[in-house]
Chains A and B, each alone.
Chain A
């Protein structure tokens, strides 16, 4: 059964009706097929309207939708011959950070993704997409390997943030993230990041200091979650909506702030309604961006990446 968000009541009702009608096949006087198609039109119209003007808080909910395609889905759909590589060579393997070699439209690449998991078992396995220091150190290792073999790096970012645990602190969570950022600015290969769901603070930027940063239309990217911000600045955890507005965490705002380079449109009603189409749109955009980056040499790629981030904070919203 489809998972509906709290602002999708009318959608849920319409789809319920359509479903009912489909089960009534043949025993009514009304032309059921006609009625269904009318309702379908209505549904499409409503979905389009609803998703055209989602509020920042609604986008946060869409970005976290359990049926939204996750990092492993993108890897499965877009990367051929994916060959996972494991471990940081220092302490452990962290399944929150999935990574390895593969081919993107014929080109060998290094792929990294932060994976949240889709059911209880996989969520536990991937620690709900909250990486440990070893995850960020594994990312460093794989990025440096990509650099050595001149392979482009592609990352899929989807995390509520780095894991806030005692063991993570003990093993240097801060240092692991800092070093991952540092390594990102040493690379002499094309580096593309896609924020596919939630770009959660330091845990996200560790894998998103890229030449080109893409965001899906309804993904979010923020220094703190709306809930966290509400409880600190409003001293009231229920002020999520206000916090989400104030933080300007939508893809559209981030494009204006020049934090992201392009926004990838999502299918009608969000990526979770048509994961395949969403992932193909991302693939096409990655492909376009990669072609552009491949025209630069290693030195230019590194310099341009640095120049871009050195300008961060020089543009405000109009």
Chain B
């Protein structure tokens, strides 16, 4: 599966200090055009195929590094009160599964909450880690979205959520379903404070995640080609007994059907998000991202961005931060 390679590689790179070759991974085949891509080219191109533009998944660390100013951010620790509420067991115990993924990803669960600046503005990002049980949403993820929401409110920050999730975490049964209203309330709080809530949809955004906070952004931006939908393709094909077109549930398909605002390629995401946030908050165009813009930005009287905003404290109960 691609997500393993996508995730493990940058992670390994981080561990060994970056730059070191992993011999068996020197070449990757593009799952879309089948061409071979040299790993360094792939790295330079942010995991986007240089031949066909196919966007492969990237790890959360790399994703956050691409978005925040100078690649700098702090993560926030959070934890759910109950880890295995149903004492769930299928072919394996849920607690065992959790441990496996925790050691595989070196993360506690499928969501990372980080805060920092984008274009000089305070931003809180909650990013899903697809490598952790398919980015599935249980109580811990719900807790993380709520933590991110409360942090954004205290810091007067914009909230960005980046789903990469197959949906609810079945092993938490009804309580995973209950994270849909829980996260919906969390993002609603941010909206009611007059703060921007932006969703960056990445591959995949489906099920209970798409049917809650992921579809409620003030602005919805998607990466090219990512899958966004409620029901799974196979389930639908069984229901209607028809094969679906290849682009069904793709970001472009959703754009055509009026469900999202824009499809933006990876290397333009940072500048686009900064532009949207600065427009929503009326802060003027930050100078450092202008050259990355897809289209010329009306500069008006040439006002620069406001000076850096002093970091606000973390809300009570959000826990200590650590440098990532």
Known: A185-B188, A257-B174. Contact between A178 and B90, CB under 8 A? no
User: Is the pair A310, B215 in contact by a Cβ cutoff of 8 Å?
Assistant: no
How far apart sit A218 and B82, CA to CA, in the bound complex (Å)? 27
Chain A residues near B60: list those with CB within 8 A. none
| B196 interface hit (Cβ, 8 Å) | no
User: Is the pair A246, B89 in contact by a Cβ cutoff of 8 Å?
Assistant: yes
The interface centre, meaning the residue of B85, B168, B170, B240 with most chain A CB atoms within 10 A of its CB, is B170
Chain A positions 279-318 with a Cβ under 8 Å from a chain B Cβ: 306, 309-310, 312-317
| B12 interface hit (Cβ, 8 Å) | no
Chain B: CB-nearest residue to A167: B240
Q: Looking at chain A, what size class is its interface with the partner chain?
A: 35 or more
User: Is the pair A313, B82 in contact by a Cβ cutoff of 8 Å?
Assistant: yes
Task: Give the segment of A115-123, A138-146, A220-228 that binds chain B.
Answer: A220-228
User: Is the pair B215, A309 in contact by a Cβ cutoff of 8 Å?
Assistant: no
| A229 interface hit (Cβ, 8 Å) | yes
| A97 interface hit (Cβ, 8 Å) | no
Chain A residues near B26: list those with CB within 8 A. none
Cβ contact of A169, chosen from B80, B91, B182, B231, cutoff 8 A = B231
| B86 interface hit (Cβ, 8 Å) | yes
| A21 interface hit (Cβ, 8 Å) | no
* Number of residues of chain B lying within 8 A (CB) of chain A: 59
Interface string of B78-96 (1 = CB under 8 A from A): 0011101111111100000
Measured CB to CB, the residues of B under 8 A from A are: 80-82, 84-91, 138-139, 142-143, 146, 168, 170-182, 184-186, 188, 207-208, 210-216, 228-232, 235-236, 239-240, 242, 244, 248-249, 257-259
Measured CB to CB, the residues of A under 8 A from B are: 162-166, 168-175, 177-179, 181-182, 184-186, 201-202, 205-206, 209, 221-224, 229, 232-234, 242-243, 246-249, 254, 257, 259, 306, 309-310, 312-317
Q: List 30 A-B contacts (CB under 8 A).
A: A164-B235, A166-B236, A166-B240, A166-B242, A166-B244, A169-B230, A169-B231, A172-B259, A173-B229, A174-B228, A178-B180, A178-B212, A178-B213, A182-B188, A186-B188, A201-B168, A201-B177, A209-B184, A232-B170, A234-B90, A247-B86, A247-B174, A248-B174, A259-B178, A312-B179, A313-B82, A313-B85, A313-B172, A316-B86, A316-B87
